[in-house]
Amino acid sequence: MKIHEFQAKAILAKYGVPVPRGVVANTLPEAAEAAKTLFANGATGVVVKAQIHAGGRGKGGGVKVVRTQADAEAAAAKILGMQLITHQTGPQGQKVQRLLVEETASIDRELYLGIVLDRAVGKLVFMASKAGGMEIEEVAAKDPTAIVKEVIDPAVGLAAYQGRKLAFALGLKPTQINQAVAFFQSLYKAFVETDASLVEINPFITTTDDKLFALDAKMTFDDNALYRHADVRELRDLAEEDPLEVEASKYALNYIKLDGSIACMVNGAGLAMATMDIIQYAGGSPANFLDVGGGATQEQIEHAFEILLSDASVKAIFINIFGGILRVDRLAQGVVAAARKLSVTLPIVLRLEGTNVEEGRQILKESGLNFQVGSTMKEAADLVVAAAKVGA
Ligand code: GDP
Ligand code: MN
């Protein structure tokens, strides 16, 4: 689960990570009031920042640094409600529903910090780089040596010596080293105690008066641990998520929207991956990943169908089911009921195997609906790719 910058900063501040003073604003009067309060309390400038889940807001025009109240209000009016397009939002962009108004910092250097799980090592890795304010993926591709890493022993946590190593590698001044170590350790503590899956501070800045701040903050959380973090769970913002994925999560369906034209309905994540591969191999492209799970109910299958059909780019549907716990006849009943209820006109290709497969095929045949059944995965994939081309 992702959260907004202002929410991440609030969490980090609780753990003692220094963040600039700021106020979140949902309306223009609130933004004006926020700027006024900051100026009244000694700010020499404010920065107005779009709060959307995607990064790259600065380049997209979603971050404005201003010096006066009038300019702050003008920036807020421009950004609030805009359709902000960044490399992470896709071409349609994301509507800005709220702003973070913050006191500006007098930046000396822009650096980078991140914590992620390194799956190869099986441990958390603390990353730091002098190349802050840029996309870290680009830095990693061009010059991997520009990112220094410390692997963290989970029994010890981020040790002070590791913090110092990172701080020296960033070229921090002697007066900043101890501050930096405390900063890094607070960041690590926040990560572990909230069951985060990613923390990224880009930029992590030094100021002209030698202070350190998290100028931007990104946090994502392990969905499987949210049950024990009610406070974090509350921060979920459904408006920022793909509506079809939100719908799917209501019915415990594992659905990820993709950009192809062949919808897939599959049980089991491994079979779902294999199905996407074979669609590609047959010359098509999948419109989604969908795992209805081993024990899907008829109701879940109906909802899965509705979700697949509400994606306008879908030209054909591929149902690839191995009936283990989910019996094939029950799946077939679900498919027929859903196809009738939703008056599906798109071609549907099935490949079925497993428990009660003959009964399942019979149900499809007797339905009078236009299903094609492939006897192998490859044959079914060829059929569905051909059907999608006709429909396109
Ligand atoms: P992102 O583009 O979505 O990652 O948004 P950031 O919060 O990282 O802001 C983008 C850039 O705006 C930063 O790299 C800074 O260069 C600049 N910026 C953000 N806040 C301030 C500030 O308080 N003062 C100044 N001078 N620049 C800022
Ligand atoms: Mn950033």
User: Which of ligand 1's atoms lies nearest the C-alpha of 133?
Assistant: 14
Distance CA 54, CA 84 (A): 9
Which residues form the catalytic set?
A: 112, 200
pTM exceeding the 0.75 threshold for the entire prediction: yes
CATH of residue 335's domain is 3.40.50.261
Given a contact cutoff of 8 angstroms between Cβ atoms, the answer to whether 354 and 271 are in contact is no
Cβ atoms of 114 and 201 within 8 Å: the answer is: yes
Stretch (H or E) spanning 272 = helix 269-281
pLDDT band at residue 249 using 50, 70 and 90 as cut-offs: confident
The pLDDT of residue 134: 83
* Ligand 1 atom closest to the CA of 104, numbered from 1: 23
Claim to verify: residue 139 and residue 195 sit in the same structural domain: yes
Question: Which residues does a 6 A CB cutoff place in the pocket of ligand 1?
Answer: 47, 49, 55-58, 63, 65, 104-105, 107, 110, 133, 202-203, 215-216
Residues 374, 314 share a domain: yes
For the CA of 44, the nearest ligand? 1
Q: Which two tokens stand for residue 107?
A: 């930046």
Q: Which two tokens stand for residue 148?
A: 């220094």
Same domain, residue pair 152 and 233: yes
User: Which protein residue has the closest C-alpha to ligand 1 atom 11?
Assistant: 58
Residue 188 token pair: 């690590």
Q: Are 211 and 18 in contact (CB under 8 A)?
A: yes
| Tokens read off for 157 | 């946590």
How many Å lie between the centroid of ligand 1 and the Cα of residue 33?
Answer: 21
Decide if pLDDT at 180 tops 70. yes
Q: Are residues 373 and 299 in the same domain?
A: yes
The reply to whether 384 and 278 lie within a common domain is yes
The helix/strand/coil state of 282 is coil
Average pLDDT over residues 234-262: 91
Residue 84: name the closest of 51, 40, 121 by CA.
Answer: 51
How many distinct helices (H) and strands (E) make up the chain? 14, 18
Average pLDDT, the chain: 94
Listed residues 209, 240, 271: the one ending a domain: 240
CATH code at position 61: 3.30.1490.20
> Taking the alpha carbons of 363, 366, 370, 371 in that order, is the dihedral positive or negative?
positive
Q: How confident is the model at residue 391 (pLDDT cuts 50, 70, 90)?
A: low
**Residue 368 confidence (pLDDT):** 87
With 0-12 CB in 10 A as exposed, 13-18 as middle and 19+ as buried, what is 312? exposed
Residues 113 and 235 in one domain: yes
Give the position, in ligand 1's atom list, of the atom nearest the Cα of 216.
Answer: 7
Report phi then psi at 303, rounded to 5: -65, -40
Domain limit, last residue, from 240, 266, 301: 240
Q: How many CA atoms lie within 13 A of 198 on its CB side?
A: 11
Number of domains in the chain: 3
Using the predicted structure, report yes or no on whether residue 392 has a pLDDT greater than 70.
no
User: For the residues 116-125, what does the mean pLDDT come to?
Assistant: 96
- Ligand number nearest CA of 54 is 1
Residues with CB under 5 A from ligand 2 (ion): 202, 216
Amino acid found at 340: R
Beta pairing class for 218-221 and 254-257:
unpaired
Task: Decide if 125 contacts 225 (C-beta within 8 A).
Answer: no
Residue 46's domain comprises 21-104
Distance CA 123, CA 118 (A): 6
Q: What is the pLDDT of residues 124-160, one digit of tens each?
A: 999 999 999 888 888 889 998 999 999 999 999 999 9
Domain limit, last residue, from 210, 240, 270: 240
